[in-house]
């Protein structure tokens, strides 16, 4: 099997707007993709990356806020508590920052990269990043949280960046 190069897709790529498919069974190919996604995330100085951001239409994310790498398959939030709003950036929306309202504390159910069911609690920045990446699996981007006037400005900025 030939390994295709993963690259980060940016706003305007239709894959970013599609709802990702649930993974039936975690295979060695999924583990390889998760590892490649993690490498790409680190190379891009990111703290999270979802499979749709690299053109893969499956529910997989990688996250590392500096306290260890999470490789998650079919993650879903089962509980939310509190509120926070952090200015978020996104590897798929270069040069754009949006203050996004999120839960301060969440509980996530997922499969790990070995296919084992896991449940864990996350709060503050980790909770924010997990919510951000899970949004990607639903076809939602940070620009969707911006007020209309700011979205219009961001669209122009993103178009200009693409044309450089």
Q: What is the pLDDT of residues 12-55, one digit of tens each?
A: 899 999 999 999 999 999 999 999 999 999 999 999 999 999 99
* Cα 100–Cα 106–Cα 109 angle in degrees, nearest 5: 120
What is the number of other CB atoms lying within 10 angstroms of the CB of residue 18?
A: 13
Question: 92, 108, 139, 110: which is closest to 23 by C-alpha?
Answer: 110
Dist. CA 43–CA 29, nearest whole Å: 21
Work out whether the CA dihedral 144, 147, 153, 154 comes out positive or negative.
Answer: negative
The pLDDT assigned to 151 comes to: 76
pLDDT in tens, 111-121: 999 999 999 99
Which residue among 81, 117, 133, 160 is the active-site one?
A: 133
Average pLDDT over residues 104-131: 98
Angle at 150 between CA 56 and CA 141, to 5 degrees: 15
Is residue 133 flagged as an active site residue?
yes
Q: Quick one: tokens of 63?
A: 């996250």
**Is residue 1 very low, low, confident or very high in pLDDT (cuts 50, 70, 90)?**
very low
Name all domains of the chain by residue range, CATH numbers in brackets.
14-163 (3.90.45.10)
What phi and psi values does residue 148 have, to the nearest 5 degrees?
-50, -45
Q: What is the C-alpha to C-alpha distance for residues 20 and 60, in angstroms, rounded to an integer?
A: 9
pTM for the complete prediction? 0.91
């Amino acid at each position: 099997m030939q390994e295709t190069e993963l690259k980060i897709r940016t706003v305007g790529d239709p894959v970013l707007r599609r709802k990702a498919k649930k993974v039936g069974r975690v295979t060695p190919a999924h583990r390889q993709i998760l590892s490649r996604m993690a490498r790409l995330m680190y190379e891009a100085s990111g703290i999270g990356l979802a499979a749709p951001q690299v053109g893969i239409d499956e529910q997989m994310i990688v996250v590392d806020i500096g306290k260890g790498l999470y490789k998650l398959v079919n993650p879903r939030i089962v509980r939310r508590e509190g509120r926070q709003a952090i200015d978020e950036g996104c590897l798929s929306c270069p040069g754009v920052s949006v203050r996004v309202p999120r839960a301060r504390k969440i509980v996530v159910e997922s499969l790990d990269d070995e296919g084992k069911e896991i449940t864990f609690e996350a709060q503050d920045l980790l909770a924010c990043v997990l919510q951000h990446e899970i949004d990607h699996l639903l076809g939602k981007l940070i620009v969707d949280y911006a007020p209309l006037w700011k979205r219009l400005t961001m669209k122009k900025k993103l178009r200009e960046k693409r044309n450089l």
